[in-house]
Amino acid sequence: MIIELREITKKYGSVVALDNISLTFEVGKIYGVLGANGSGKSTLLKLIAGLAKPDHGVVTVEGVAVSRRIASAVSYLTEIDFFYPNFTVGQYIDFHASQFADFNRDKAIEMLAFMKLDVRKKVRSLSKGNRGRLKLVLALSRDAPVVLLDEPFSGLDVMVRESIVRSLLSYIDFEKQTVIITTHEIEEIEKILDEVILIKDGQIMAKENVEDLRESSGKSVVGWLKGHHR
């Protein structure tokens, strides 16, 4: 078990984002966190990344209580589409390499080639799809034990989504890394998930192994979700 959340409550003002939830994550698995906007998905990732503090409860990564310093063990892809427009792709790689000791430059170069991104191009001139690809390259180039991807597919077309799925399969180290992805695009990634977690109104509605779901109920995650929404 690499990540543990124990009796976590998180409020923003009077709004309860997460309501007394407990969850554990195991090494080498890919988790999908599903839920509507405002369900608490992003808050969950921010708590693991040390970007938000719980009002109650403890989050641990590799047995260590999470603080802002957990960034050395956690690679985090934000859902926000923000870059410094004057940086080139290459400068972004340099910047991240300077910030994270576990940044693997060889892996980054390989992924850039795979994603057909030109290091000399300024971020300003990149399409939305290519900005999404660059974000993923930056997040996956770190040899961090935990990789958190907040809505990596949001607003991207099918081609880009496919290249992201493929690079996840090619570049994650399944012996050592644990990946948590929040998404709406379940159809694209259900084949690569080990487990799905369904969040609604700050509570965990269900946590299931994707293959067990098919075996026991004869349902894909999409079919299962429909049952839960009724």
Partner 1 sequence: MSEDFHASKPIYLQVADRICYSIVRGEIKSGEKLPSVREMAVEMGVNPNTIQRTYAEIERDGIVETRRGQGTFVKNDPALIASLRTRIQTEVIETFVENMKEIGLSRTEMLAAVQQFLMKQGEAE
Interface residue list for partner 1 (CB under 8 A): 28-30, 162, 165-166, 169-170, 174, 191-194, 210-211, 214-215, 218-220, 222-223
Shortest Å, Cβ 116 to partner 1: 16
| Shortest separation between residue 162's beta carbon and partner 1, angstroms | 6
Q: Closest approach of Cβ 44 to partner 1, in Å?
A: 21
Least CB distance from residue 161 to partner 1, whole Å? 10
Spatial distance between the Cα atoms of 34 and 197, rounded to a whole number of angstroms:
6
Other CB atoms within 10 A of residue 9 CB: 15
Shortest reach from residue 140's CB to partner 1, in Å: 14
Nearest to partner 1 of 138, 193 (CB atom) = 193
Nearer to partner 1, 13 or 218 (CB): 218
Nearer to partner 1 by Cβ, of 12 and 174: the residue is 174
Nearer to partner 1, 99 or 170 (CB): 170
C-alpha distances (whole Å) from 109 to each of 22, 104, 153, 197 are 38, 9, 22, 33
Q: Which two three-digit tokens encode residue 9?
A: 């409550």
Between CA 103 and CA 72 the distance in angstroms is: 10
Tell me the β-bridge partners of 60.
4, 65
| Residue nearer to partner 1 on the CB measure, 43 or 167 | 167
